[in-house]
Amino acid sequence: MPSKPVGIEAMYVYTPQFCVTSETLANARGAKLTHFTEGIGIGSFSFPPPNEDHVSMAATAALRLMKEQDIDPRDIARIDLATESSREGSRGAPSDVVGALEQAFGTNSFRHVAGVEYKFACIGGVEALRNSCALAAPDWLPEGRHNIVIATDFARYHLRSGEEPTQGAAAAALLIGRKPRLLEIVPRAYGSAMRYEPGDFSKPGGRSIANVNGGLSVGSYLSEMRTAWSGFIAAVKETGFIVPSSGMCVSDSIDKGIWHNPHLKQVQSAHASLLMHEWIGLPSKQDIFRNLGTPPERGETPDHVFYASQPYKDYRKRFMKEPVVVRDFDKRIKPSTVAPFDIGNSYSASVFVGIDSLFETDPEDLAGKTVVLAGYGSGSHALIQATRVPEDYMPVAKRLDLMNRLKRREHLSIGAYETWHDFHDGVQSGLVKPSDISLPRSFASPTFVLSSVGAIKSPTEGQRTYALVA
């Protein structure tokens, strides 16, 4: 390990204070509740009112982080932001966040910072984290300074669509520096995969709701994760970070894992797929495969097609139900899925919601544990990064309060939810003013809200202003 470790010093996850429960949605759509809670794996999803967007959520998360950690703007060197929710094709969202934060810290208080906007579907946040950590090295970041990484997204799909229950919204603000008190990034202990895939998930022409090919998305997710994991195995062995004992594999040496989480079933499928490939060569695991039979062969079928095929899906489902696999998931993966189960899909913030969930819900002492972050973005790209929990993590971890805030959210009626859903495009395009519709009158303090958007074909077209609700 380097003499100057870098990583996450503190974090704050913001999610809107309104949600739609799976029970409400199931009743309205004439569906069985278990289809959502067990079949897909969603208990509820956060849903912002039309006067909250990716920037307001990002600014809220950053402000609360800085206030909680008593960070002065002069101590911030960079603000990088990852999102796939922006409709702006040129300007970077960090400047919008800076403009909002100046309401709390003063005009030009962030004039000195650097930063860019990252976009690669859901993996932008993990890429921003890695790059910000690299720029926190001693030769780049002066002593006592920090970077901030924000991942912020609103996953919104058409009403009554198959994707509707997998909506969600959140923003995660991470304080990056050389005193990592939550997670330390392990240098060179990562694996990556990228493949050209134009048809799995996209938002062409400034769309706010994606075109989704569900089967291709799942196949691409599993394919890229598998390839990235192969690179990860080679990297950790080469660096000596993980050297498995005889009869064990690399995955056996991972204490906790956090997968990109569009919904629980996808995470369960990804973890099972990984174990199938890792365990099939271990003598100690052969009882599982004797019970299930030989896994289907890929042959000449492309990976992403094979992983979405019915024979592989059927075998994976049976593998997932094996008691040893269930126990492994519950111990190493499930703690990171508790918060996402109630927030829904938060795209680029997904992995970071999982980090918070791990620290708040796992009963184990995590000091010194190895935690793998597995990010994925459609298009398609996967990245697996090893991190380590420092020995003195507990004081910072105890300040995380996402789980308590989830309990205090207001449950929307189906009518209120559908009304807000329909108004989002109008407000975001400037065709509808936030003041013209019924919106919440009170927010938890402090929160930023969208106050205006310049109308189409006006001199201020697309220009956004935000207000601080103190």
- Closest C-alpha among 76, 190, 180 to residue 130: 190
Rounded-to-integer distance, Cα 328 and Cα 332, Å: 6
User: What is the Cα–Cα distance from 378 to 393, expressed in whole angstroms?
Assistant: 33
Indicate if the pLDDT at residue 1 is higher than 50.
Answer: no
Which tokens in the block code for residue 195?
């493949």
pLDDT at 3: 55
Distance, in Å, from the CA atom of 293 to the CA atom of 106, rounded to the nearest integer, reads 66
Q: Looking at residue 21, what is its pLDDT?
A: 98
> Are 218 and 307 spatial neighbours (Cβ–Cβ below 8 Å)?
yes
User: pLDDT (tens digit, 9 = 90+) per residue, 11-29?
Assistant: 999 999 999 999 999 999 9
pLDDT of residue 428: 77
For domain 7-469, the CATH superfamily is Thiolase/Chalcone synthase (3.40.47.10)
Q: If DSSP codes are grouped into helix, strand and coil, which group holds residue 211?
A: strand
The string of pLDDT tens digits covering residues 296-327 is: 998 999 999 999 999 999 999 999 999 999 99
CA–CA gap between residue 159 and residue 75 (Å, rounded) = 44
Share of the chain above pLDDT 90, in %: 84
Residue 442 has pLDDT above 80, yes or no: no
Write the pLDDT tens digit of every residue in 172-200.
Answer: 999 999 999 999 999 999 999 999 999 99
User: Does residue 374 carry a pLDDT above 50?
Assistant: yes
Q: Which of 361, 400, 411 is nearest to 17 (CA)?
A: 411
pLDDT at 418 over 80: yes
Q: What are the residue ranges spanned by the domains of the chain? A: 7-469
Round the average pLDDT of the chain to a whole number and report it. 94
71: Cβ contacts below 8 Å, ≥ 6 apart: 65, 146, 175
Q: Residue 110 has what pLDDT?
A: 98
Q: How far does CA 135 lie from the centroid of its chain?
A: 22
Find the farthest-apart pair of alpha carbons in the chain and give their distance in angstroms, rounded. 70
pLDDT tops 80 at residue 73: yes
Q: List, for residues 249-286, the tens digit of each pLDDT value.
A: 999 999 999 999 999 999 999 999 999 999 998 999 99
Q: Check pLDDT > 80 for residue 30.
A: yes
Look up tokens 């990245």; give the residue. 383
Q: Which amino acid is at 299?
A: G
Which is more confident, 270 or 428?
270
Burial grade of 171 (CB within 10 A; 0-12, 13-18, 19 or more) = buried
pTM of the model: 0.96
Residue with tokens 């996209």: 202
Instruction: Give 329's pLDDT tier (boundaries 50, 70, 90).
Output: very high
Residue 4, both tokens: 């100057």
pLDDT tens profile 202-221: 988 778 898 999 999 999 99
- Over residues 58-84, mean pLDDT: 97
Q: What span, in angstroms and rounded, lies between the C-alpha atoms of 418 and 412? A: 9
- 225 contacts: CB under 8 Å, gap ≥ 6: 193, 259, 270, 273, 274, 374, 376, 382, 384
Where do we find the tokens 């609700």?
469
Six-digit token pair at 181? 């008190």
With CA atoms as reference, report the closest residue to 178 among 211, 137, 150.
Answer: 137
pLDDT surpasses 90 at 383? yes
